[in-house]
């Protein structure tokens, strides 16, 4: 929570939930990344918050951008950023989308198999490609499964294929899992990346770049290490695995760039019990999973929630959204402690909601409009 957000909400007259993002915090985050990893180029992961205000600000600070679709590429271009600062980092792309990206000037693509290499070779000839390797995501609160990346043992074949198809085999990428609370998670991935460099080198292909991905956390309820701590752990791991031949590196922060910049104001719609003896109250808010809080899925992300009655006695509550879908429950397995005195009409603040909220909100499920968003 910042003074600027507090001031904005004090003067707000509109109804319904709203996400307020303080751009000063985004600027501070960018500067912290640039300082913690001074030799890495920053490619902001656009999906975390693609608002034009965020893209323009980061563009003006010198950031590059990691995109996953033609629409995201167009948003970045519309923010005044040149295509040499854009990567098409999705490993799953239609060939005609690759062609469209190439047409507007994008020359950096992610791949994780030979079939994708062939699409890029046909639709974006001569471009740079990096091969994504699998990472187990241990230590992450929002792990990324096996959907993206190949086994490290296959990566050299994929990159050699790219080389033979006339592409520039540029490097290796990985993602250690989102909201990664262990700064040492990069160590194992970098060992594997170094092995791919070595194997490619032996085949006469000299890779030059390691894409360290995202994963940098936002503080929710638990404390997280500082960006500086991540920076020095990563630098040590680079030294350890690459010796004095440290490659060019890039990072792709999403959550860590915008998460703590946003606060959602929501209203309590109903407080009830399922029986007179029930010890746990149900608290229904005017925002839920379909209004932008999708990352509460499996209760993975636990947002800090402030109430106007903080400091009073608390009791466990099941928190739920306003829609008529029974899946629209935020915290139930692990109930949330809220003041006993909480009442219908109270305004609550959900902190750390600058990333992965607005774009997740549904178009109009049950008629509820997408999450309103203000960038100040
Ligand atoms: C989503 C994504 C990111 C951002 O991840 P965070 O955990 O939010 O930092 C970075 N790189 C790629 C390829 C992604 O898909």
- Long-range contacts: 193-200, Cβ < 8 Å, 24+? 193/133, 193/152, 193/241, 194/241, 194/242, 195/152, 196/131, 196/133, 196/152, 196/155, 196/156, 196/159, 196/172, 197/172, 197/242, 197/247, 199/155, 199/156, 200/156, 200/159, 200/160, 200/169
Better pLDDT: 174 or 137: 174
174 and 108 in a common domain: yes
Q: Give the residue from 315, 372, 307 showing the smallest Cα distance to 346.
A: 307
CATH number of the domain where residue 181 is located: 3.20.20.10
344 and 364 in a common domain: yes
The residues with which 250 forms a beta bridge, in sequence order, are 41, 211
Query: Which residue's CA is the closest to the ligand 1 atom numbered 14?
Result: 45
Residue ranges around ligand 1 (CB below 6 Å) = 45, 47-48, 66, 89, 175, 178, 213-216, 252-256
In the predicted structure, residue 125 carries a pLDDT above the cut 90: yes
The Cβ of residue 192 has, within 10 Å, a number of other Cβ atoms equal to 19
Domain boundary among 253, 286, 307: 253
What pLDDT, in 10s, does the model give residues 348-366? 999 999 999 999 999 999 9
306 and 196 in a common domain: no
Do 44 and 257 meet the contact criterion of CB atoms below 8 Å apart?
A: yes
How many structural domains compose the chain? 2
* pLDDT category of residue 140 using cuts at 50, 70 and 90: confident
Residue 137 CA, ligand 1 centroid: distance in Å: 12
Name the average pLDDT for the chain. 96
Residue 255 CA, ligand 1 centroid: distance in Å: 8
- Cα 299 from Cα 301, distance rounded (Å): 6
Residue 141 CA, ligand 1 centroid: distance in Å: 13
Residue 135 CA, ligand 1 centroid: distance in Å: 13
* pLDDT category of residue 79 using cuts at 50, 70 and 90: very high
135 carries an active-site annotation: no
In the predicted structure, residue 35 carries a pLDDT above the cut 80: yes
Choose which residue among 68, 214, 253, 295 to substitute to test ligand 1 binding: the one with the highest number of ligand atoms within 8 A of its C-beta: 214
Q: What is the percent of the chain where pLDDT is above 90?
A: 96
What pLDDT, in 10s, does the model give residues 53-76? 999 999 999 999 999 999 999 999
In the predicted structure, residue 51 carries a pLDDT above the cut 90: yes
The Cβ of residue 21 has, within 10 Å, a number of other Cβ atoms equal to 25
Given the CA of residue 89, which atom of ligand 1 is nearest to it? 13
| Beta-sheet pairing, 64-67 with 86-88 | parallel
Give the pLDDT score at 144.
75
Given the CA of residue 132, which atom of ligand 1 is nearest to it? 13
Give the pLDDT score at 326.
94
- Cα 274 from Cα 263, distance rounded (Å): 30
In the predicted structure, residue 142 carries a pLDDT above the cut 90: no
Give the pLDDT score at 145.
75
Given the CA of residue 253, which atom of ligand 1 is nearest to it? 9
Give the pLDDT score at 317.
97
Give the pLDDT score at 26.
98
Q: What is the mean pLDDT of residues 247-276?
A: 98
Given the CA of residue 177, which atom of ligand 1 is nearest to it? 7
User: Element (H or E) spanning 32, and its range?
Assistant: helix 23-36
Q: What is the mean pLDDT of residues 204-220?
A: 97
CA dihedral 254, 255, 258, 261 (to 10 degrees): 180
Give the pLDDT score at 332.
97
279 and 341 in a common domain: yes
Q: Would you say the pTM of this structure is higher than 0.95?
A: yes
- Cα 151 from Cα 139, distance rounded (Å): 19
Is residue 19 one of the residues assigned to a domain? no
Q: What is the mean pLDDT of residues 241-262?
A: 98
Full residue range of the structural domain in which residue 277 is found: 260-375
Which single residue is written with the structure tokens 């996400």? 19
């Amino acid at each position: 929570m910042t003074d600027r957000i507090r001031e904005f909400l004090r003067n707000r007259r509109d109804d319904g939930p709203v996400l307020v993002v303080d751009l000063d915090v985004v600027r501070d985050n960018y500067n912290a990344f640039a300082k913690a990893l001074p030799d890495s180029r920053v490619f902001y992961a656009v999906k975390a918050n693609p608002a034009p205000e965020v893209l323009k600000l980061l563009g003006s600070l010198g950031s590059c951008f990691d995109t996953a679709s033609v629409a995201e590429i167009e948003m970045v271009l519309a923010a005044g950023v040149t295509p040499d600062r854009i990567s098409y980092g999705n490993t799953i792309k239609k060939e005609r989308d690759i062609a469209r990206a190439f047409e507007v000037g994008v020359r950096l693509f992610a791949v994780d198999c030979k079939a994708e290499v062939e699409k890029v070779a046909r639709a974006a000839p001569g471009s740079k490609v990096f091969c994504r390797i699998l990472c187990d995501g241990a230590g992450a609160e929002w792990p990324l499964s096996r959907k993206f990346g190949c086994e490290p043992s296959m990566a050299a074949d994929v990159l050699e294929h790219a080389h033979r198809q006339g592409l520039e085999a540029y490097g290796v990428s990985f993602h250690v899992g989102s909201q990664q609370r262990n700064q040492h998670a990069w160590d194992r991935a970098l060992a594997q990346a170094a092995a791919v460099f070595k194997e490619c080198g032996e085949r006469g292909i000299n890779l030059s770049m390691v894409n360290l991905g995202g994963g940098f956390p936002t503080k929710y309820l638990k404390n997280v290490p500082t960006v500086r701590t991540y920076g020095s752990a990563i630098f040590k791991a680079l030294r350890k695995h690459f010796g004095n031949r440290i490659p060019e590196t890039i990072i792709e922060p999403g959550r860590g760039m915008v998460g703590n910049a946003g606060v959602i104001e929501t209203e309590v719609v109903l407080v009830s019990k399922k029986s007179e003896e029930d010890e746990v109250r149900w608290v229904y808010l005017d925002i839920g999973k379909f209004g932008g809080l999708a990352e509460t899925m499996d209760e993975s992300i636990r947002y800090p929630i402030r109430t106007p009655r903080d400091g009073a006695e608390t009791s466990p509550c099941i928190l739920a959204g306003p829609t008529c879908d029974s899946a629209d429950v935020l915290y139930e397995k692990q109930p949330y402690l809220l003041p006993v005195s909480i009442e219908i009409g109270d305004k609550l603040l959900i902190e750390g909601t600058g990333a992965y909220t607005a774009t997740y909100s549904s178009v109009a499920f049950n008629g509820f409009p997408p999450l309103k968003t203000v960038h100040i």
